């Protein structure tokens, strides 16, 4: 596999996000949405950054296939080819990650304003993406306005900052803990996405909010994310 120093994205509007001047794709047939996934630029394929957008989908297509192939572990060589990489250390670190699916209870989710019955643990229907543990929830089972995702990752905040897909970093504080707020390059014209990142000893924990493009009542995603953080951050490991 060639080294991808840019990104492979599955946009919340239902298809591969544009990497040039092409138009933003529209919602696909059906009612489900993709998630945002990308590679970091630290010389190794398979790092995913971002936040959950929605539910499982049957239209992940070739873009997701490329991303998943990278996530299985390849290191780039100087001539542009790739060689197999050992994933033992990363697998061990992934297993040890704080798990939002088991550590965030239903009462907490109710305070955040999401429906626990809508829980999803996948990236576009794919379970167990190495380097990440994640959970996402819609605010209601159908005709949802937004999705809140909590991502626990082995990747340090510095790695996330270096990813060109992540933009507009600003320092924040939530529940007495320092973190950062940032967005996504592909969402610059829409302002429908917001991420908060909080470093911890094992990597970074992200809170994400994706507004549904079908909603007429969704609020500013960063306001929603910061309100959720006041409830969620006290649960995060140091």
The two structure tokens encoding residue 99 = 């798990």
pLDDT number for residue 107: 98
Single out the residue of 43, 52, 97, 48 nearest to residue 71, CA to CA. 48
Each residue of 82-135: pLDDT tens digit?
A: 434 556 888 899 999 999 999 999 999 999 999 999 999 987 788 889 999 999
Pairwise pLDDT comparison (1 vs 79), residue with the higher score: 79
pLDDT number for residue 122: 87
The two structure tokens encoding residue 32 = 């489900």
Each residue of 56-89: pLDDT tens digit?
A: 333 333 333 333 333 333 333 344 444 345 568 8
Contact of 90 with 96, CB cutoff 8 Å: no
Give the range among 7-11, 179-183, 206-210, 234-238 with minimum mean pLDDT. 7-11
The two structure tokens encoding residue 237 = 């490991």
Domain membership of residue 1 (yes or no) is: no
Burial 72-89 (b: 16+ CB within 10 A, else e): ebbebeeeeebeeeeeee
Mean pLDDT of 209-226: 95
Domain membership of residue 121 (yes or no) is: yes
If one counts every other C-beta atom within 10 angstroms of the C-beta of residue 128, the result is 12
Domain membership of residue 119 (yes or no) is: yes
Domain membership of residue 5 (yes or no) is: no
Strand partners, 173: 178
**Structural domains in the chain (count):** 1
Structural domain boundaries enclosing 123: 10-235
Give the predicted TM-score (pTM) of the model.
0.69
If one counts every other C-beta atom within 10 angstroms of the C-beta of residue 107, the result is 10
Domain membership of residue 2 (yes or no) is: no
Domain membership of residue 62 (yes or no) is: yes
Query: What distance in Å separates the CA atoms of residue 185 and residue 165, rounded to the nearest whole number?
Result: 5
Question: What's the CA dihedral at 212, 114, 129, 3 to 10 degrees?
Answer: 30
Each residue of 227-237: pLDDT tens digit?
A: 999 999 999 99
Each residue of 149-174: pLDDT tens digit?
A: 999 999 999 999 999 999 999 999 99
Domain membership of residue 3 (yes or no) is: no
Residue 125 CA: distances (Å) to CA of 11, 53, 107, 122, 169? 14, 12, 26, 5, 29
pLDDT of residue 226 exceeding 60: yes
Each residue of 36-54: pLDDT tens digit?
A: 444 333 333 233 344 334 3
Query: What distance in Å separates the CA atoms of residue 71 and residue 132, rounded to the nearest whole number?
Result: 11
Query: What distance in Å separates the CA atoms of residue 98 and residue 17, rounded to the nearest whole number?
Result: 30
Query: What distance in Å separates the CA atoms of residue 37 and residue 145, rounded to the nearest whole number?
Result: 21
Domain membership of residue 4 (yes or no) is: no
The SS3 call for residue 118 is: helix
């Amino acid at each position: 596999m060639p080294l991808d120093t840019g990104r492979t994205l599955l946009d919340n509007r239902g298809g591969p996000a544009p990497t040039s001047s092409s138009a933003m794709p529209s919602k696909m047939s059906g009612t489900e949405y993709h998630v945002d996934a990308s590679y970091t630029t630290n010389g190794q394929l398979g790092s995913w950054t971002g936040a959950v957008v929605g539910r499982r989908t049957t239209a992940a297509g070739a873009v997701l296939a490329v991303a998943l192939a990278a996530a299985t572990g390849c290191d780039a060589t100087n001539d542009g080819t790739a060689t197999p990489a050992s994933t033992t250390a990363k697998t061990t670190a992934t297993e040890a990650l704080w798990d939002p699916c088991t550590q965030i209870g239903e009462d907490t989710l109710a305070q955040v304003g999401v429906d626990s019955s809508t829980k999803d643990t996948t990236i576009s229907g794919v379970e167990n993406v190495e380097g990440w543990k994640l959970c996402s929830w819609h605010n209601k089972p159908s005709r949802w306005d937004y999705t809140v995702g909590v991502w626990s990752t082995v990747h340090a905040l510095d790695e996330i900052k270096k990813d060109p897909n992540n933009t507009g970093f600003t320092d924040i504080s939530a529940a007495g803990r320092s973190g950062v707020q940032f967005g996504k390059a592909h969402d610059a014209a829409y302002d429908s996405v917001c991420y908060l990142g909080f470093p911890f000893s094992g990597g970074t924990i992200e809170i994400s909010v994706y507004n549904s493009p079908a909603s007429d009542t969704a609020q500013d995603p960063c306001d929603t994310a910061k309100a959720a953080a006041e409830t969620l951050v006290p649960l995060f490991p140091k």
